[in-house]
Amino acid sequence: KAGVTQTPRYLIKTRGQQVTLSCSPISGHRSVSWYQQTPGQGLQFLFEYFSETQRNKGNFPGRFSGRQFSNSRSEMNVSTLELGDSALYLCASSAQTGVLYFGPGTRLTVT
Amino acid sequence: ELKVEQNPLFLSMQEGKNYTIYCNYSTTSDRLYWYRQDPGKSLESLFVLLSNGAVKQEGRLMASLDTKARLSTLHITAAVHDLSATYFCAVDKDKAAGNKLTFGGGTRVLVKP
């Protein structure tokens, strides 16, 4: 089975721009979660989608949003980028009661 | 608010010796996970612990869970260089509500010959 895939793998943006990251889950997995990893804050939960509905949300500002499509693929969007948004963004997929499998991540650099 | 603490933050190991990483969490929770992360890479699932007294072993790694003490341990037996990585524990407070993991800060492990 193919694993979780994320695109793009690397991204450089300028402050004030917006960015969209994409995640394709493992086939058959309907839950997709997003996490932000930074050296200072560690791994933090952003949100989770299940069957196209946001099921859980972390403590991030409204600039961070996401969605899930009918094929379970998910996107997250960050608007009005700030320097502090530079991070590794990890997507994870899961069968309903199973382990979370993480993708390779998208490394976002905001300059 | 659920808090997850790991210690130590850094562990310098000698090959062949045994070590333990500790993971404490602040509130009753459904599941505890251990993940491994190599530099520049993603997270690899090691163990899922579901109930009090659960013990799982894979190779030189063994994880256990004490829900009463809100403590999980990851024991490394006879460390080898390949085990050098950062290890994270993560807790899912309410699995019925979906997937929402709270991670510990990680333990960076360096195994020296």
Please indicate if any CB of chain A lies within 8 Å of the CB of B3. no
Within 8 A by CB and 6+ apart from A61, the residues are none
Rounded mean pLDDT, B31-43:
94
For B46-102, write each residue's pLDDT tens digit: 999 988 888 999 999 999 999 999 999 999 999 999 999 999 999 998 877 788 999
Q: Cβ separation of B99 and A33 shorter than 8 Å?
A: yes
Residue type for position A3: G
Give the per-residue pLDDT at B91: 94
Please indicate if any CB of chain B lies within 8 Å of the CB of A53. no
Rounded mean pLDDT, B15-41:
94
For A16-50, write each residue's pLDDT tens digit: 999 999 999 999 999 999 999 999 999 999 999 99
Interatomic CA distance for residues A64 and B10, integer angstroms: 32
CB B6 within 8 A of CB B88: yes
Is the predicted pLDDT of residue A99 greater than 80, yes or no? Answer: yes
Chain B: closest CA distance from residue A81 (Å): 23
Task: List the single residue in A with minimal CA-CA distance to B95.
Answer: A97
Is the predicted pLDDT of residue A14 greater than 90, yes or no? Answer: yes
Interatomic CA distance for residues B24 and B72, integer angstroms: 7
A108: DSSP letter: E
From chain A, the residues in CB contact with B99 under 8 A are: 31, 33, 48, 55-56, 92, 94, 100
Give the per-residue pLDDT at A97: 62
Rounded mean pLDDT, B37-42:
92
Q: Cβ separation of B90 and A43 shorter than 8 Å?
A: yes
Q: How confident is the model at residue A61 (pLDDT cuts 50, 70, 90)?
A: very high
Instruction: For residue A97, count other CB atoms closer than 10 A to its CB.
Output: 10
CA B18 to chain centre: 15
Rounded mean pLDDT, A6-13:
97
Joined tokens for residue A55: 């099921």
Please indicate if any CB of chain A lies within 8 Å of the CB of B93. no
Residue type for position A63: R
Residue type for position A39: P
Instruction: Pick B98's closest partner by Cβ from A31, A44, A102.
Output: A31
Q: How confident is the model at residue A77 (pLDDT cuts 50, 70, 90)?
A: very high
Strand order in the sheet with A64-68: A5-7, A19-24, A74-78, A64-68
Within 8 A by CB and 6+ apart from B81, the residues are B15, B111, B112, B113
Rounded mean pLDDT, A66-84:
97
Please indicate if any CB of chain A lies within 8 Å of the CB of B2. no
Interatomic CA distance for residues B84 and B90, integer angstroms: 19
φ and ψ at B82, to 5 degrees?
Answer: -60, -15
Give the per-residue pLDDT at B99: 86
Q: How confident is the model at residue B16 (pLDDT cuts 50, 70, 90)?
A: very high
Rg over CA atoms, chain B? 14
φ and ψ at B40, to 5 degrees?
Answer: 75, 5
